[in-house]
Copies of this chain bind each other. A is one copy, B any other.
Amino acid sequence: MGVRNVITIKDVAKDAGVSVGTVSKVLNNIYVTVANKEKVEQSIKGLGYQVNTYARGLKAQRTNTVAIIVPDLISPFFALLVNYVEQALSEMNYKLLICNSYCKKEKEIAYINMAKQNKVDGLICVTYSNSDEYLRDDLPIVSIDRHFKPKVCCVASDNYRGGKIAAEKLIETGCKNIVFIRNGSNINGETLKRGKGFIDACEKAGIDYCTKEFGEETTLEKGGETEHKVCCFLEQCMKNGKFLYDGIFTSSDSLGQIIIEKLKKMGLNIPMDVQIIGYDGLRALNVGAYQLSSIKQPVKDMAVTSVNHLMKLINKEPVDELTILPVSFVDGGTTR
Are B83 and A287 within 8 A (Cβ)?
no
Is the pair A52, B58 in contact by a Cβ cutoff of 8 Å? Answer: yes
Question: Is B287 touching A257 in the complex (CB atoms < 8 A)?
Answer: yes
Which of A13-21, A22-30, A73-81, A148-156 touches B?
A73-81
Do A261 and B282 touch (CB < 8 A)? no
Q: Does A86 contact B (CB under 8 A)?
A: yes
B-contact bits for A67-111, CB 8 A (1 contact / 0 none): 000001111100110110011001000011111100000010000
Is A87 a contact of B60 with CB atoms below 8 Å? no
Q: Of B2, B50, B117, B287, which one neighbours A254 at CB under 8 angstroms?
A: B287
Query: Which of B116, B254, B287 has a CB less than 8 Å from the CB of A220?
Result: B287
Q: How many whole Å from A331's CB to the nearest CB in chain B?
A: 15
Residues in A246-269 with C-beta less than 8 Å from chain B: 253-254, 257-258, 260-261
The complex places the Cα of A82 from the Cα of B79 at a distance, in Å, of: 10
CB distance from A171 to the nearest CB of B (A): 26
The size bracket of the interface on A is 35 or more
Nearest CB of B to A218, in Å: 12
The smallest C-beta distance from A45 to any residue of chain B, in angstroms, reads 13
Q: Tell yes or no: A194 within 8 A of B by CB.
A: no
Chain A 118-162 interface mask (CB, 8 Å, partner B; 1/0): 110000000000000000001000000000000000000000000
Interface assignment of A324: CB less than 8 Å from any CB of chain B: no
Checking B6, B73, B76, B116 against A285 with a beta-carbon cut-off of 8 angstroms, the contacting residue is B76
Given contacts A100-B86, A254-B287, A4 and B138 within 8 Å (CB-CB) = yes
Does A222 contact B287, Cβ atoms closer than 8 Å?
yes
In the assembly, what is the distance between CA of A99 and CA of B87, in Å?
A: 9
**The one of B50, B83, B257 that contacts A114, using a Cβ cutoff of 8 Å:** B50
- Cβ distance A69 to chain B, nearest Cβ, rounded Å: 11
User: CB distance B288 to A258 under 8 Å?
Assistant: yes
Question: A42: CB under 8 A from chain B?
Answer: no
Identify which of A57, A227, A253, A284 gathers the most chain B CB atoms within 10 Å of its CB: A284
User: Quick check: B286 and A138 within 8 Å, CB to CB?
Assistant: no
Given contacts A52-B58, A65-B97, A254-B287, 9 further A-B contacts (CB under 8 A): A1-B60, A4-B118, A52-B117, A74-B80, A74-B286, A79-B79, A220-B287, A258-B287, A282-B285
Closest 7 CB pairs of A and B: A79-B79, A73-B83, A54-B54, A257-B288, A1-B61, A73-B79, A220-B287
